[in-house]
Structure 1
Amino acid sequence: MIQGIHTIDTGFVRPNFDAAYLVVENGHGAFIDCGTAYAIPRMLDALAQAGLAPGDVDWLILTHVHLDHAGGAGELIAHLPNARLVVHPRGARHMIDPSQLWAGASAVYGEAVMQETYGQLRPVPAERVVEAIDGHVVDLAGRALLCLDTPGHARHHNTVYDQRANACFTGDVFGLSYREFDTDRGPFILPTTSPVQFDPDALHASIDRLVALKPEAMYLTHYGRLGDVGRLAVDLHEQIDAMVALAKQAQQDHAEPSQRHRAMKKALADLYASRAQMHGWQGSRDELEELIGMDIELNAQGLGVWLDSTRKRAS
């Protein structure tokens, strides 16, 4: 724990993969993100270990409404009698009525997989939802938590800047950094361009906005606290540009969507393997694809959606 910030492993997918956070100030708590419905016992256990009761939690703040960050929000709020939910205005309606979120994901993964992976999505009562526009300040017992509109990964994405700790809770806008890739050179990082709202220009701008705050640390959902913010930001910028370039090349080389998708997946795996090797990671290509294979798949999907939307705007 650093400056009242507790990292909670939500148990999603594997250890050290999906984090939520508890910020404690003067006997009051705020959760930032919450994982899926299956994470609720872990969230409540973390609260107890911090010496707080459910009634001591004032806020549940969501970075965005993707289900690995927010799927358990309704269930968690039901356990927190005094808490309100803080969410980007574009995401608020999906927390009040999550049926569209469920339907969209179920269409891709199927009902059985959704139940097994995320659990049921429980609505949050509208009167307990606070829409956080850019610059909204959440007051946690005198500790200011500033909500910053940071699109690029999703248009409903806020980053939470904790002024007391001089740290940002970045959701997915500052990329992914799995602890298995740590070396003597520090953490390894890669952007996430998962569907359906990737916007490279917006993502570059959001990263620059956060770096301009000169934070001491970034708290990522995937996964944990990172220092060395300047180097990691450079790495993200370089990779966003490289990913856009390889996507455009795949589009040029392959008119058929499935072939384009396969080409992007291979190019992304090549990019990440090369950068991981340069970072000093000693794992094999098979190990890399086991650890980030789903991220490669989702990044390729997101790049494909972006390519198609760009082409439609140009026509």
Structure 2
Amino acid sequence: MTPTQGIHTIDTGFVRPRFDAAYLVVENGRGAFIDCGTFFAVPRLLDALAEAGLAPEQVDWLILTHVHLDHAGGAGELITHLPNAKAVVHPRGARHLIDPAQLWAGATAVYGEEVMEKTYGHLRPIPAERVVQAPEGHVVGLQGRPLRCLDTPGHARHHLCVYDEQSRSCFTGDTFGLSYREFDAARGPFALPTSTPVQFEPEALHDSIRRLVALEPEIMYVTHFGGVGDVVRLAKGLHEQINAMASLAHAVRGEPKDKRHEWLKWALTDLYAERLAAHGWKGSRDELLQILGMDIELNAQGLEVWLDRGG
């Protein structure tokens, strides 16, 4: 965990190494976490805090890009260890922090209770008085360092990104896609969009990416995984892939759902393999599936939900 401009990248340990990141921003002896991973990540975050030279009572904020469990599942547990911190979240996500029962029930209906407890632990509610709603333009102050919250739908309607003017960087959650370090090549990082169900909206995602790029950030801190530069090139690739993914979905509109799903997974794998080969990555298709298998499954599901909503 080597800090840059007071920004510490923390591997939450979810799924595999360098898959899921949380961030700690430190300014003049005070801290703000941005995203936190699952319930099981909390000890790692507290260790990172100590490594940065801060005590739990020196953390003022836990800012959540959105309430998907790989980003915010540990929020309620973490807050219990941070006596002076408040949780900051998009207004659409606030109720899920205060009462996470619906969030848990929805995910459990898909994955089952046993998998949920093993993968995510459990969700603790956060007292309403410790939840701050952050609409477009809301500024979180960290010892005079403004962290500006931007309404960035496309991946989820309750998604926000955080612009840190001091470091000229954005904390992008899933809005600026996935960028796994295994795909780094001579020309730099590679990124692909995430259309995880249930609120993928291509045009909104295009707009959100354009908004972020217009800020001219030097680094995008993505949750999956770490800080990446070469922002304009990555954004161009994301726009191209969003269009390609939407076109693939349209190609199977009206097909039976089981056939549609398997075809989309195959087609997405082809798309990413082609893009990665052009990027200069030398891995095999099997290696690609080892890294992206879960994301391809979720992206296919998300595209199907979008189609079923009339996309």
2:201 equivalent among 183, 199, 202: 199
* Matched letter for residue 52 of structure 2: A
Q: TM-score, normalised to structure 1's length?
A: 0.97
Q: Match for residue 257 of structure 2? A: 257
Alpha-carbon distance between aligned partners in 1 of 2:191 and 2:84, rounded to the nearest angstrom: 37
Alpha-carbon distance between aligned partners in 2 of 1:262 and 1:185, rounded to the nearest angstrom: 32
Return the offset for 1:308.
0.7
Return the offset for 1:124.
0.4
Aligned pairs (5 A) from 1:71-90: 71-90=73-92
Aligned pairs (5 A) from 1:129-278: 129-251=131-253, 255-278=255-278
Alpha-carbon distance between aligned partners in 2 of 1:277 and 1:233, rounded to the nearest angstrom: 18
- Secondary structure of 1:90's counterpart equals coil
| Deviation digits for residues 179-230 of structure 1 (CA, Å, limit 9, x no counterpart) | 0010101011100001000000000000000000000110000000000000
- Secondary structure of 1:277's counterpart equals helix
Alpha-carbon distance between aligned partners in 2 of 1:251 and 1:239, rounded to the nearest angstrom: 19
Alpha-carbon distance between aligned partners in 2 of 1:274 and 1:165, rounded to the nearest angstrom: 34
- Secondary structure of 1:8's counterpart equals strand
Farther-moved stretch of structure 1 (256-265 vs 25-34): 256-265
Alpha-carbon distance between aligned partners in 1 of 2:218 and 2:71, rounded to the nearest angstrom: 23
* Matched letter for residue 87 of structure 1: V
Q: Match for residue 302 of structure 2? A: 302
Return the offset for 1:250.
1.8
Q: Which runs of 4+ in 1 moved over 2 A?
A: none
Alpha-carbon distance between aligned partners in 1 of 2:161 and 2:206, rounded to the nearest angstrom: 14
Alpha-carbon distance between aligned partners in 2 of 1:250 and 1:284, rounded to the nearest angstrom: 27
- Secondary structure of 1:31's counterpart equals strand
Alpha-carbon distance between aligned partners in 2 of 1:175 and 1:152, rounded to the nearest angstrom: 11
Alpha-carbon distance between aligned partners in 2 of 1:297 and 1:172, rounded to the nearest angstrom: 16
* Matched letter for residue 4 of structure 1: G
- Secondary structure of 2:309's counterpart equals helix
Equivalenced residue count is 309
| Deviation digits for residues 73-109 of structure 1 (CA, Å, limit 9, x no counterpart) | 0000000000000000000000000000100000000
Alpha-carbon distance between aligned partners in 1 of 2:293 and 2:124, rounded to the nearest angstrom: 30
1:46 equivalent among 31, 45, 48: 48
| Deviation digits for residues 140-181 of structure 1 (CA, Å, limit 9, x no counterpart) | 011000000000000000000011111000000000000001
Alpha-carbon distance between aligned partners in 2 of 1:28 and 1:307, rounded to the nearest angstrom: 45
- Identical aligned pairs, as a percentage? 72
Alpha-carbon distance between aligned partners in 2 of 1:310 and 1:143, rounded to the nearest angstrom: 42
Q: Which ranges of structure 1 fall in alignment gaps of 5 or more residues?
A: none
Alpha-carbon distance between aligned partners in 2 of 1:307 and 1:69, rounded to the nearest angstrom: 26
Return the offset for 1:251.
1.7
Alpha-carbon distance between aligned partners in 2 of 1:275 and 1:137, rounded to the nearest angstrom: 37
* Matched letter for residue 37 of structure 2: G
* Matched letter for residue 28 of structure 1: R
